[in-house]
Amino acid sequence: MSLFPAFIKLKGRPCLVVGAGPIGESKIASLLAAGAVVQVVAPHATAAVSKWAAQGRVSWKAREFQPGDLDGMVLVVSAASSPAVSAAVFKEARSRGVLCNAVDDPGHCDFYYAAIVNRGQLQIAISTGGQSPALAQRLRKELEQQFGPEYEPWIEKLGDARRELFAGQVEPEGRRERLHEIASAGAFEEFQSGAEPRDAQGGQTTGTVYLVGAGPGDPELLTLKALRILGQADVVLHDDLLTPEILELIPQTARVECVGKRHGARQVSQEEINARLCRYAAQGLTVVRLKGGDGAIFGRAGEETAALRAAGIPCAMIPGVTAASSAASAAGVSLTDRRLGSALVFLTAQRCKGNPPPNWKAVAALGGALAIYMPGGHETDLARQLIESGIKPDAPCIVVSQASRPDEQILRTTVGKLQETAALPAPAILLIGVLAPTEADPPSPAPSRVEGLSASAGKQDPVSPLLEFMNE
């Protein structure tokens, strides 16, 4: 059954609560918070309800429910301990066209109480249609972490700006664009940082570019901040190796361009990517450069931020879960282990033309573990260079391909046998010198995924991928 989600104004309107125990008390409190005129019918009441009645905040009739109690009511909540009483309240309410909620009795409900994330004028309601209030409460706690207390003063500022725009002489289309701009992820970042706010009439017109790390591929490894900013994007320039589940999180209203660099395929040059980022931001758009893993680790983030700063374009980097971390998690190993060494080195097998190779002997002398990104096609040279540097041929080597994705592959070998190993599909990474789990160690359970996270996101709703599967 589909439910109609709505936020109802109850200020000054009569509402009835049947029952005044601890549950009834909480329902009365929520109605008072909404400004309702609350009538209570119950033989007995908690101390709090009795106090509210003595203060005149509620009207309490200390008796059993009677049909006439529903005269003139907008809605009724039955928090009675007797199912028979709730059934009678629902039947009478239905005959009068009064909306009824019987607590913990979905069959006698016209509406359900939602789990609410309350940030002042910003309210996010979660309903399971009465099927699992416990799930709704869990999801509420998760959203409270994403939408912190700072949203309460920010939405007040948005309201002031909106009223200012409607009071001024602004064309409807221009006003709509400004309303979206001042509610953007970039505007929120400015508010949090204490930067001078954009004025409602026009102020700043240059957009912001966000270099967002999308993680290894599992959409659940996308950070909450990355998800929020992605939901506000006007334009997304993304790498070629991102999973479909991540790409489905992009708002349907956003312009999406693939600018990935695959070996042997037609490439978009780095200079062209930089030019597109600057061009779109100069149009006042919110631009997301979506990169697999963490863009600051072998992701050319330095080149892009330099180009943006040279052009006077505001930019920010949002870190992501890097391939080394996800690969180690998939293989059940630790990247750092004090029994083996005190160093962890990130390297890449892909280098710009003219760049010298790493000083392998210096790397080997550090001890600890190596994480070698993008090894595809270089396995033979890597094995030779590692052995020549002093790393023993029998040193453990783990190849992880497609870490965190459904087609993830893990190959355990040694440095000496690495050249005999067929290259696994990209993206792949080598982990060398990590302490592998022993055969006696129990296998780690595979974590379950949250269903529905890949649902399409809507503009100005940064958590719609989450909310779409939450709501019934």
Active site residue 239: yes
- State both tokens at 55: 């203060």
Burial class (CB in 10 A: 0-12, 13-18, 19+), 28: buried
Q: Which of 61, 157, 261, 459 is catalytic?
A: 261
Q: HEC states along the chain?
A: CCCCCCCCCCCCCEEEEECCCHHHHHHHHHHHHCCCEEEEECCCCCHHHHHHHHHCCEEEECCCCCHHHHCCCCEEEECCCCHHHHHHHHHHHHHHCCEEEECCCHHHCCCCCCEEEEECCEEEEECCCCCCHHHHHHHHHHHHHHCCCCHHHHHHHHHHHHHHHHHCCCCHHHHHHHHHHHCCHHHHHHHHHCCCCCCCCCCCCCCCEEEEECECCCHHHCCHHHHHHHCCCCEEEECCCCCHHHHCCCECCCEEEECCCCCCCCCCCHHHHHHHHHHHHHCCCCEEEEECECCCCCCCHHHHHHHHHHCCCCEEEECCCCHHHHHHHHHCCCCCCCCCCCCEEEEECCCCCCCCCCCHHHHHHHCCEEEEECCCCCHHHHHHHHHHCCCCCCCEEEEEECCCCCCCEEEEEECCCHHHCCCCCCCEEEEECCCCCCCCCCCCCCCCCCCCCCCCEECCECCHHHHHHHCC
> Residue 73: which residues within 8 A CB-CB, separation 6 or more?
14, 15, 16, 39, 98
> Residue 129: which residues within 8 A CB-CB, separation 6 or more?
1, 3, 106, 112, 472
Angstrom distance (rounded) from CA 174 to CA 450: 39
Of 216, 209, 342, which Cα lies nearest the Cα of 288?
209
**Helix, coil or strand: residue 243:** coil
Active site residue 361: no
Q: Which of 27, 239, 291, 294 is catalytic?
A: 239
Q: What amino acid positions are annotated as catalytic residues?
A: 239, 261
